[in-house]
Amino acid sequence: MKVLLIQQDMGTREAQVPNLPIGLTYIASALKNHQVKIFDPNLYPLSSAMDELKNEMQKFKPDIIGISIRNIDTTNFRNKHVYFNTVKPMVLAIKEINPEIKILAGGSGFSMFAEIIMKKIPEFDFGIFLEGEKSTPELLANLNNPENVKGIFMRKNNQVIYTGDRPLPEFSEIPMPETATEVIDMKNYLGPSYNIIGIQTKRGCLLNCAYCSYPNLNGRQVRLRDTKDIVDQIEYFINQFGMERFVFVDSVFNVPEGHARKILEEMIRRNLDVQFGVWCHMKGITEEFLELLKKAGAVQIDFSPDAATNKGLSALKKGLTEQDIKNTINMARKIKGIGIGFGLFTSLPGYNLTDTIKTLILPFKIQLSLPGRGGGGISYIKIEPDTHIRDIAVKEGLISKDDDLFPKDENDLARMFYRPYSQRYLNMLADGFLGMFERVLKPTAVFVFRTLARIKGKKSAYDQKTGFVSFQKTKK
């Protein structure tokens, strides 16, 4: 069977090179008994992407199509965009070429709103809930009896039904991502930034952050991939495609630390010439581990304390204190030549003027402590389904208990951020400050540090093509 796997069009071309559709490469590897092709519309200008898709369909002539819906929206209050609104036009374009073709939906964005999306787009014949490496090939083998396949949304008697839960697959048993040229042209993703090609070392998350949907998507039990397999994949990408940089796309790389340490040590043992970025949990972080990251090739280490005060850290269930943040900054000062980023939220439960000011000041403290290579990004929490912050928002009357949190447009998306009315004046202060930070303070700091580096005859971190100091975390 010919299967065309399509990455969702993000509806914007802000990035110079789009992210590798890593989820689809894993699905392709699971469909070894089929002829598979991956199409990524984000590689083309918005004006021609749909025509390119139609041309691909006419050339490849697929028997079935799968669409990965990775992100519903930006989750970024200062850059609100509803990515989902590109999906329906794509589906209609596909049906225009072949009205009878079966279309599957999947991806993390789909799984967060599976039943809603199935009802919004009746052209979807099936939906793959959560991880699809086992359920997708099983569904293709049972298209005449799909109700026998667990983990599937389908249509029966004009109703959307769910066939029931299935265990998440053992990550160690899933084949390596499919990167054959006839499936996907990896050279399209060899861009200048480190965060284009993703490497996944585990699935599942042991943490309990109040706002995060990752545990709902990947489970709360960590499923590890063998160290050798991971480093084999990195080495293969280097040798086969000339990959120079990548990002570990685990929500948290160093939990558990032992697994992360083995990967870094194996990369060092093989003397791999590669740069990478990584997200780490700062609890228990040590200077020795930061040095190990650098030695293995890390050029950017991001942390997500999410709050700048003990009150906020407690509200978000981070298991951290302000002292942990200070300790991490102090350790990072000793690790030269590497970018360090901190993700922060303001407008957290119970915040007052002091909490807000401490949050707004922290990025400056980070930049002064790590001149030219450190900083912090501040945003607001996007309220997601089945999270603790959603329960708080309902209790405080920000949203109703029946609110599905599925944005219709950017205006509707705006109300889904945690910005309690009791903090409206604090949020006005934060909005004004963040606007000034983005337009004036940040560009000024970049100019100053870049100029100082050039006066010293050195290359600034901001001149390097490694994606230094990039703080906006997205779902992978």
In a domain, 295, yes or no: yes
In a domain, 476, yes or no: no
Q: Looking at residue 476, what is its pLDDT? A: 35
Same-domain pairing of 381 and 315: yes
Same-domain pairing of 264 and 409: yes
Contacts of 407 (CB under 8 A, 6+ apart): 72, 73, 82, 84, 413, 416
Same-domain pairing of 433 and 349: yes
Same-domain pairing of 61 and 131: yes
In a domain, 175, yes or no: no
In a domain, 470, yes or no: no
Same-domain pairing of 282 and 318: yes
Q: What is the CATH number of the domain that holds 151?
A: 3.40.50.280
Same-domain pairing of 398 and 293: yes
In angstroms, the CA 78 to CA 80 distance is: 6
Q: Is the Cβ–Cβ distance between 223 and 170 less than 8 Å?
A: yes
Same-domain pairing of 126 and 248: no
Same-domain pairing of 110 and 199: no
Q: Looking at residue 475, what is its pLDDT? A: 38
Q: What is the CATH number of the domain that holds 205?
A: 3.80.30.20
Which has the closest alpha carbon to 153: 136, 169, 129?
A: 129
Domain count, the chain: 2
Domain range for 349 is: 190-463
Say what the alpha-carbon torsion angle 60, 61, 66, 72 is, to the nearest 10 degrees: 70
Q: Looking at residue 458, what is its pLDDT? A: 64
In a domain, 325, yes or no: yes
Q: Looking at residue 101, what is its pLDDT? A: 97
Domain final residue pick, 123, 143, 162: 162
Radius of gyration of the chain (CA): 22
Same-domain pairing of 131 and 210: no
368's enclosing H/E stretch is helix 353-369
Same-domain pairing of 409 and 269: yes
Same-domain pairing of 216 and 124: no
Place of tokens 């993390």: 108
What tens-digit pLDDT sequence spans the chain (476 residues)?
Answer: 999 999 999 999 887 789 999 999 999 999 999 999 999 999 999 999 999 999 999 999 999 999 999 999 998 998 899 999 999 999 999 999 999 999 999 999 999 999 999 999 999 999 999 999 999 999 999 999 999 999 999 999 989 999 999 999 999 999 999 999 999 999 999 988 888 999 999 999 999 999 999 999 999 999 999 999 999 999 999 999 999 999 999 999 999 999 999 999 999 999 999 999 999 999 989 999 999 999 999 999 999 999 999 999 999 999 999 999 999 999 999 999 899 999 999 999 999 999 999 999 999 899 889 988 888 889 999 999 999 999 999 999 999 999 999 999 999 999 999 999 999 999 999 989 888 767 766 667 666 666 766 676 666 555 544 444 433 343 33
In a domain, 173, yes or no: no
In a domain, 174, yes or no: no
Domain final residue pick, 122, 142, 162: 162
Q: Looking at residue 436, what is its pLDDT? A: 77
Same-domain pairing of 213 and 78: no
In a domain, 424, yes or no: yes
In angstroms, the CA 158 to CA 119 distance is: 10
